[in-house]
Amino acid sequence: MNRTKPETPDSETTDETLLRTDDVTKKFGQLTAINDVSMSIPEGEITSIIGPNGAGKTTLFNLFTGKYEPTSGQIRFRDERIDGMAPHDIVDKGVVRSFQITNFFDDLTTRENVRLATQAQYSGFGASDFLRHYTSLDGAVDDAEAVLERVHLLDVADRQASNLSYGQRRHLEIGIALAAGPDLLLMDEPTAGMSPEETLDTVELIEEIASDTTLVLIEHDMDIVMDISEFIVVMNEGELIARGDPAEIRTDDRVQRAYLGGE
């Protein structure tokens, strides 16, 4: 496949916008889930999207990744419109997500879960993709090993995915997303439900990934958000109510009222 693979980490040097939305609105029948949101995700940084439940954070991810099409407005990735594209085409562009609820292939082994994701970059509809054995696709197998090592799952690579511990399942979730080779990785509550120890571990992993990949997190744990984000977007009831660096957000009145103050 002709995808540009994640390459040199050059986050410090550029402050370019990687993903941008212009006046995006999404309605489900009468309900407006996202209302006129314009924002931009800077390349090479960790951006967090925060907001109370029902603020529209996950819907935003679904819009970015092609699960939903915006009712109006545009979404651009590297200045190319991606709204209305099929999910797999958006993945091809380099936008990949992980899921809040673990969402993979329970019956397969950990390794096979990851390998299936890496395989996407090596196989298509050529004759050999129908006739060769799947394990003979060396590139996919090697990439899968690398990803497994990165998310610390090599030890349990042969275990059936449904038998992994909770923390391991969360890592596999991230691993599958990584295996798809993202330039922009959208992570939906990567630390939700984790013990403090597992959380620490995951935060380390996130920071490690951030070294070569632009990240957008949906995260509830404010400590983590304030700690690792370089940029924060605050949503409430489908609207974008504030954005800025952690210091700015901490002191923003509207944020205080809508969100932080409520707790």
Stretch that binds other proteins, among 105-113, 144-152, 193-201, 241-249 (CB under 8 A): 105-113
Task: From 110-118, 144-152, 210-218, 242-250, give the range in contact with other proteins by CB under 8 A.
Answer: 110-118
Q: Which of 19, 24, 137, 216 binds other proteins (CB under 8 A)?
A: 137
- Please identify which residue in 34, 75, 85, 116 interacts with other proteins, judged by CB under 8 A: 116
Please identify which residue in 43, 112, 188, 219 interacts with other proteins, judged by CB under 8 A: 112
Q: Does 24 sit near other proteins (CB under 8 A)?
A: no
State whether residue 197 is helix, strand or coil.
Answer: helix
Closest approach of other proteins to the CB of residue 79, in Å: 21
Options 52, 74, 105, 250; binder of other proteins; rule CB under 8 A: 105
Pairing of strands 72-77, 46-50: unpaired
The residues near 94 (Cβ < 8 Å, ≥ 6 apart) are: 3, 4, 6, 77, 181, 182, 183, 184
Is 75 within 8 Å of 20 (Cβ atoms)? yes
* CA geometry: angle 3, 116, 4, nearest 5 deg: 10
**CA-to-CA distance for 236 and 57, rounded, in angstroms?**
9
**Cβ proximity to other proteins, 48 vs 62, nearer residue:** 62
Q: Do residues 233 and 39 lie in contact, with contact meaning Cβ atoms separated by under 8 Å?
A: yes
Residues that bind other proteins (CB under 8 A): 28-29, 65, 67-68, 86-89, 91-92, 96-97, 99, 103-109, 112, 116-117, 119-123, 125, 129-134, 137, 140, 176-177, 179-180
